[in-house]
C-alpha cells in the first residue's frame, strides 16, 4: 500500500512536486524484496515456506507476494486449464492445491512467459491469500495481507481540544486525544473512553488491519458503527489501545 496509494510514488495520483520523471505504462510495477521468512499453511501442511519472497507493488493494488517455485510444496499443486491475461505482466497459468479431500481451486498462479517489461517474474509464483488457512511472518500469524515495508503507522499526542459532534450534539470531547497517521489514509483521532459523553453499544461489527490489529465497532446516538477501537492492538498502534475513533458520514471531528 505504501508505494501505490494516495500520493505515493507509484500511485495514480503521484505528486508532481519532484525533480524527476517516472516514464512507463500505467499501472507501474515494482518488485522488491520482503525481508523476513513467510509461511502459508493449509489443512496442517505448509504450502509456502520462503526467505526469498518478493513483493510486487502495482499502482492502486495491495502488494502481492511472489516466491521462487521451489519454496512451494510442489507435490500439492496440480495445473488447471484456467488462465488470465494482464497486459502489463502477460498470460497467467494457475494451479490448484490438493490436500486430502480439500481443494483450493486456482490458488496459485504464475507468468511462465511474462512480457519483456516484467521478465523478472519468470520462475516466481503467487498464492491467493484467502485460499490458505493461515499465514506467518516469521513466527507471528498475520491477517489481511503481509505488512508492506513502505507502510507506516505513527501515533502522537494532539495537545489540543478534539471535539466530536453530530448535529451540534457533542459525542466526545478531549484534550487527551491522540492522532494516528497511516500511510495513504487520512489522520484519525483517538479519544479516551472516559471522554465520551454518550452511551456506547457494541455493534457486533469487526474488521482486521495488518498494521493495527482487530477492531471492534460501536454504535451511539442512533448511529451504527459510529466508532471503532483496538482493544489489543499490534505494536504500531499500542498507544491507542481501548481508545475510540469516531468516523461516520454524520459525524464532525474538530481539532483546536
Q: Model confidence over 59-83: pLDDT tens digits?
A: 989 999 999 999 999 999 999 999 9
183-210 residue pLDDT tens:
989 999 999 999 999 999 999 999 999 9
Q: What is the 3-state secondary structure (H, E, C) of 197-232?
A: CCCCEEEEEEEEECCCEEEEEEEECCEEEEEEECCC
In a domain, 10, yes or no: no
Number of domain units in the chain: 2
Digits of tens for pLDDT over the chain (256 positions)? 688 887 788 888 888 888 888 887 889 999 999 999 999 999 999 999 999 999 999 998 999 999 999 999 999 999 999 999 999 999 999 999 999 889 999 999 999 999 999 999 999 999 999 999 999 999 999 999 999 999 999 999 999 999 999 999 999 999 999 999 999 899 999 999 999 999 999 999 999 999 999 999 999 999 999 999 999 999 999 999 999 999 999 999 999 9
Does residue 39 sit in the same domain as residue 112?
yes
Look up residue 249 and give its three cell numbers. Answer: 458520514
Which residue, of 112, 142, 172, is where some domain finishes? 142
Which residue, of 121, 142, 163, is where some domain finishes? 142
Does residue 43 sit in the same domain as residue 124?
yes
In a domain, 79, yes or no: yes
d(CA 49, CA 73): 8
The overall average pLDDT reported for the chain is: 95
Residue 63 lies in domain: 29-142
Does residue 125 sit in the same domain as residue 173?
no
Look at residue 138 and give its three-state secondary structure.
coil
Does residue 132 sit in the same domain as residue 43?
yes
Does residue 191 sit in the same domain as residue 250?
yes
CATH number for 206: 2.170.150.40
Look up residue 61 and give its three cell numbers. Answer: 493494488
Does residue 124 sit in the same domain as residue 59?
yes
- What pLDDT score was predicted for residue 1? 64
Which residue, of 90, 110, 142, is where some domain finishes? 142
Amino acid at each position: 500500500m505504501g508505494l501505490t496509494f494516495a500520493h505515493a510514488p507509484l500511485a495514480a495520483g503521484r505528486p508532481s512536486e519532484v525533480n524527476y520523471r517516472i516514464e512507463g505504462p500505467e499501472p507501474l510495477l515494482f518488485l522488491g524484496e520482503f525481508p523476513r521468512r513467510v509461511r502459508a499453511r493449509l489443512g496442517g501442511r505448509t504450502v509456502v515456506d520462503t526467505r526469498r519472497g518478493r513483493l510486487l507493488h502495482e499502482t492502486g493494488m495491495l502488494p502481492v507476494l511472489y516466491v521462487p517455485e521451489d519454496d512451494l510444496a510442489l507435490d500439492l499443486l496440480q495445473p488447471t486449464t484456467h488462465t488470465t491475461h494482464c497486459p502489463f505482466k502477460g498470460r497467467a497459468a494457475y494451479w490448484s492445491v490438493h490436500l486430502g479431500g480439500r481443494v483450493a481451486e486456482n490458488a496459485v498462479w504464475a507468468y511462465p512467459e511474462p512480457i519483456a517489461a516484467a521478465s523478472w517474474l519468470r520462475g516466481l509464483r503467487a498464492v491467493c491469500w484467502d485460499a490458505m488457512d493461515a499465514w506467518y511472518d516469521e513466527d507471528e500469524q498475520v491477517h489481511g495481507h503481509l505488512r508492506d515495508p513502505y507502510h507506516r503507522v505513527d501515533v502522537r499526542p494532539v495537545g489540543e481540544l478534539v471535539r466530536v459532534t453530530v448535529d451540534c450534539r457533542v459525542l466526545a470531547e478531549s484534550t487527551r486525544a491522540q492522532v494516528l497517521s497511516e500511510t495513504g489514509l487520512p489522520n484519525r483521532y483517538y479519544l479516551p473512553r472516559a471522554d465520551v459523553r454518550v452511551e456506547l453499544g457494541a455493534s457486533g461489527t469487526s474488521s482486521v488491519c495488518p498494521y493495527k490489529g482487530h477492531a471492534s465497532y460501536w454504535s451511539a446516538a442512533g448511529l451504527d458503527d459510529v466508532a471503532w477501537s483496538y482493544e489489543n492492538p499490534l505494536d504500531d498502534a499500542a498507544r491507542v489501545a481501548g481508545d475510540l475513533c469516531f468516523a461516520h458520514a454524520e459525524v464532525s471531528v474538530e481539532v483546536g
